[in-house]
């Protein structure tokens, strides 16, 4: 077989295989879904904040308005919330519908939720006292395809 | 006059591309778009009507309505109004489905001083950057 003939036939084979797997079932082999609430705030986004110097007006100008105000005896807390949740589901049993009259279910699912919160404590004069994240903001999140491993 | 000849490999690649497009179109079983909102949208003319040190609390409520939440901080009363917007998109293929749901909020805080007048207005709009996205990977 010449090089050209091989180049012609192999992509057809790959496409045929892909076509077979694509049309093998109409009920879906895999699902990937994602839910995002607000833009994530990173450490770089808050690098401009200097404790006891930066004003609340400067924070709003850079980060926007917070999601919540909380009052306490030591000052005001403002909270920015953001969420990134990823869900995946694979039904390996759906592949059997190509040759089986019964479609068994063999499903693995994974849900990863990264709910993060940036809390900024303000003094009575609306100056930033300190900031803190509830989780590591730079920690990557991904889809969990296999639920049996950490 | 001679015409340039096209190599069989290029012709084959063109056929493969067309076949791939047919494959993609055939495998797209459907798509879905959804929208949901919570709370009234905050109007720019309502914001423009608020004047610091002049507009009273009663006038704020008469103009914008009752706040969604009332808070107290730094000896001020804070009236909070919010508007949530959700956009969802799904790409439903025969073998794989992709979905993405994006939620953002607009928040308006009106600080009222001890005299019952508007002390400050904080407004942040995020929903104008809300997009329909079906691809769940990446940023």
Residue B1 has pLDDT above 50, yes or no: no
Q: How far is B100 from chain A (nearest CA, A)?
A: 5
Range among A92-101, A136-145, B37-46 with highest mean pLDDT value: B37-46
Which pLDDT score, from 0 to 100, does residue B55 have?
95
What pLDDT, in 10s, does the model give residues A25-77? 445 789 999 999 888 888 899 999 999 999 998 998 889 889 988 888 778 89
Kindly indicate the confidence band of residue B27, based on its pLDDT and cuts at 50, 70 and 90: low
Q: Does the reported pTM lie above 0.80?
A: no
Return the higher-pLDDT residue of A128 and A74.
A128
Across the range B106-129, mean pLDDT stands at 92
Which pLDDT score, from 0 to 100, does residue B124 have?
87
d(CA B93, CA A117): 35
Across the range A132-136, mean pLDDT stands at 82
Contact between chains at A8 and B136 (C-beta distance less than 8 A)? no
Which pLDDT score, from 0 to 100, does residue A77 have?
92
Return the sign of the alpha-carbon dihedral for residues B68, B72, B74, B76.
Answer: positive
Contact between chains at A22 and B16 (C-beta distance less than 8 A)? no
Q: Which residues on neighbouring strands pair with residue B91, listed in sequence order?
A: B31, B98
Calculate the alpha carbon distances from A76 to A18, A127, B74, B112 in Å.
58, 10, 7, 15
Across the range B57-84, mean pLDDT stands at 92
Residue B33 has pLDDT above 90, yes or no: yes
Distance from chain centroid for Cα B23: 32
Kindly indicate the confidence band of residue B62, based on its pLDDT and cuts at 50, 70 and 90: very high
Three-state DSSP class for residue A105: coil
What pLDDT, in 10s, does the model give residues A64-123? 889 988 888 778 899 998 888 899 999 988 888 778 888 888 899 888 888 889 999 998
Across the range B38-43, mean pLDDT stands at 90
ipTM above 0.90, yes or no: no
Instruction: Choose among A30, A34, A65: nearest Cβ to B122.
Output: A65
Kindly indicate the confidence band of residue B94, based on its pLDDT and cuts at 50, 70 and 90: confident
Residues of B in contact with A19 (CB under 8 A): 23
| A144 close to A88: Cβ distance less than 8 angstroms | yes
Q: How far is B43 from chain A (nearest CA, A)?
A: 16
Among B24, B36, B52, B116, CA closest to B84: B36
């Amino acid at each position: 077989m010449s090089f050209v003939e091989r180049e012609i036939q192999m992509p057809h084979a790959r496409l045929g295989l892909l076509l077979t797997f694509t049309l093998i079932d109409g009920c879906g082999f895999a699902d990937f879904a994602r839910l995002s609430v607000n833009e994530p705030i990173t450490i770089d986004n808050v690098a401009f904040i200097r404790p006891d110097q930066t004003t609340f007006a400067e924070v709003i100008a850079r980060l926007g308005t917070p999601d919540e105000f909380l009052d306490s005896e030591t000052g005001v807390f403002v909270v920015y919330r953001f969420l990134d949740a990823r869900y995946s589901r694979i039904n390996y049993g759906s592949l059997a519908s190509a040759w089986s009259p019964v479609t068994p279910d063999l499903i693995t699912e994974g849900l990863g939720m990264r709910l993060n919160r940036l809390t900024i404590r303000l003094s009575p004069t609306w100056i930033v006292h300190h900031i803190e994240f509830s989780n590591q903001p730079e920690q990557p999140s991904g889809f969990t395809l296999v639920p049996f491993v950490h | 006059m001679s015409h340039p000849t096209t190599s069989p490999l290029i012709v084959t690649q063109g056929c493969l591309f067309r076949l791939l497009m047919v494959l993609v179109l055939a495998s797209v079983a459907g798509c879905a778009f959804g929208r949901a909102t919570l709370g009234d949208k905050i109007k720019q003319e309502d914001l423009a009507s608020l004047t610091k040190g002049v507009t009273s609390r009663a006038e704020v409520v008469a103009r914008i309505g009752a706040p969604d939440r009332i808070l107290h901080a730094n000896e001020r009363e804070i009236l909070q109004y919010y508007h949530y917007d959700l956009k969802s998109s799904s790409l439903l293929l025969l073998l794989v489905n992709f979905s993405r749901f994006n939620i953002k909020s607009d928040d308006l805080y009106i600080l009222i001083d001890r005299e019952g007048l508007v002390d400050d207005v904080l407004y942040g709009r995020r929903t104008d950057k809300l997009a329909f996205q079906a691809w769940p990977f990446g940023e």
